[in-house]
Copies of this chain bind each other. A is one copy, B any other.
Amino acid sequence: MAPMARAAVMIRPGKIEIQEFPLPRLEDGAILLRVEMCGICGTDKHTWHGETKQYAGTPTESDTPYPIIPGHEIIGTAVEVNDRRGPRLDYDGEPVRVGDRLALCPDVVCGACYACRHTFAYPWCEHLKGYGNAFTSTEPPHLLGGWAEYLYVLPNAFVYHVPEELPTHIAVMVELMAVSYNLDKLKEFFTLSGEGLATGDTVVVQGAGPMGICHIIKARMMGAGDIVATDLSDYRLSLAKAFGADHVLNVTRTSERERVDLVRSLTPGRGADVVVECVGKAEVVVEGLEMLRKGGIYVEAGNFVESGEVTLSPHRHLCAKNVRLIGMTNHPFTGYTPSMKMMLRTAHLFPYDRFVSHVFPLAQTEAALLRSMEPDTMKVVIAPWATG
């Protein structure tokens, strides 16, 4: 009998089962990855709740094709590499060999469509397929999500070598650190005349979950001034402080007015230079815009999944504010390797060890997912080979 791999399958909203799949035969350029650790992301929680509309209004608008094996924040070890037709290269041009520890970029692009040919580093591909989101587990090669013992790495999927000194439970942050390239992206919009993120700028991060924490780290790393974080969990806000926030505001104990006033008081009267939305709820957008200075930049990154509507004034919130509002999905392919190097370089500055708050074995995936929805968690991960 063929060797089998166990995987956690979300067969429909609210229902996860452990299933077995045959280990696939590798096509040219494919890799078989032993999954060491895989994060649970906010998107996975949406999928659990049946909130499945992604990329609405774009050529890649999609719904989740249940059953799927979720999981896209993946660190694993190559146990087989098909390099018959030439070396299988990582994103940086280095050959992948059996035994290498790798991070995976979950977004797989065709490289040949109009979007691939006219956009750099972001997966705006017309044929985009996302690990843990876009593949039905019923079709071979089945193992295209990270909540599983093994993962099939497609020939055109991008992988990155994890530096030896970087522990897996820190390396598992890398996908979110790449998401925090939202702030690097802002440099494309920078001028000394008040555009973009400047050295010493005041940055507000709405939402201190894993994605918010990574933006706090990145803002600090890039030379931000005051960093303010908002959340409803004191636990998360305490971590926000540990990771570099100067001011934290619990939204359950402050009013919108108080929060806006605090931000304005830090910048005498002006408002934040940058606000990053990492909550993923439509209603926080207006508060974020109110916090922003004239000409400030608002990064709408949290509403990756359809989450409702918001009402605002084009005069007050957009035109008069001279807002620069930048919607950002996904992360750049180029963000992985530098992120891992910077995590090593700044190991003494940030308590990376505290980022993963809970580790669950594969058999307890559903419990892990439910646990991750509690406010007293940061990143919850599946370690498929861990023993519960």
A184 at the interface (CB under 8 A from B): yes
A269-298 CB contact bits vs B (8 Å, 1 = yes)? 110000001000010010000100011000
A289-316 CB contact bits vs B (8 Å, 1 = yes)? 0100011000011111111111111111
* A10 smallest CB distance to B (angstroms): 21
Which residues from B are CB-within-8-Å of A319?
Answer: 300-304, 327-329
* Interface bracket on A: 35 or more
Q: Flag if A193 contacts B190 (CB, 8 Å).
A: no
A37-58 CB contact bits vs B (8 Å, 1 = yes)? 0000000000000000111111
A321 at the interface (CB under 8 A from B): yes
CA distance A69 to B112 in the complex (A): 29
A322 at the interface (CB under 8 A from B): yes
A140 at the interface (CB under 8 A from B): no
CA distance A313 to B312 in the complex (A): 11
Q: Flag if A316 contacts B56 (CB, 8 Å).
A: yes
Q: Flag if A309 contacts B311 (CB, 8 Å).
A: yes
* A107 smallest CB distance to B (angstroms): 13
CA distance A312 to B309 in the complex (A): 5
Which residues from B are CB-within-8-Å of A349?
Answer: 349
A92 at the interface (CB under 8 A from B): yes
* A315 smallest CB distance to B (angstroms): 4
Q: Flag if A342 contacts B223 (CB, 8 Å).
A: yes
- Report which A residues bind B (CB closer than 8 A): 53-59, 61, 89, 91-93, 111-115, 117-122, 124, 126, 181, 184-185, 187-196, 198-200, 218, 221-223, 225, 268-270, 277, 282, 285, 290, 294-295, 300-329, 332-334, 337-339, 341-342, 345, 349
Taking A117-B333, A199-B342, A304-B320 as known contacts, 4 extra A-B pairs with beta carbons closer than 8 A to each other, sorted by chain A number, are A93-B114, A300-B314, A303-B313, A310-B313
List the 5 shortest-distance A-B pairs measured between CB atoms, nearest first. A200-B338, A120-B120, A120-B193, A93-B114, A325-B325
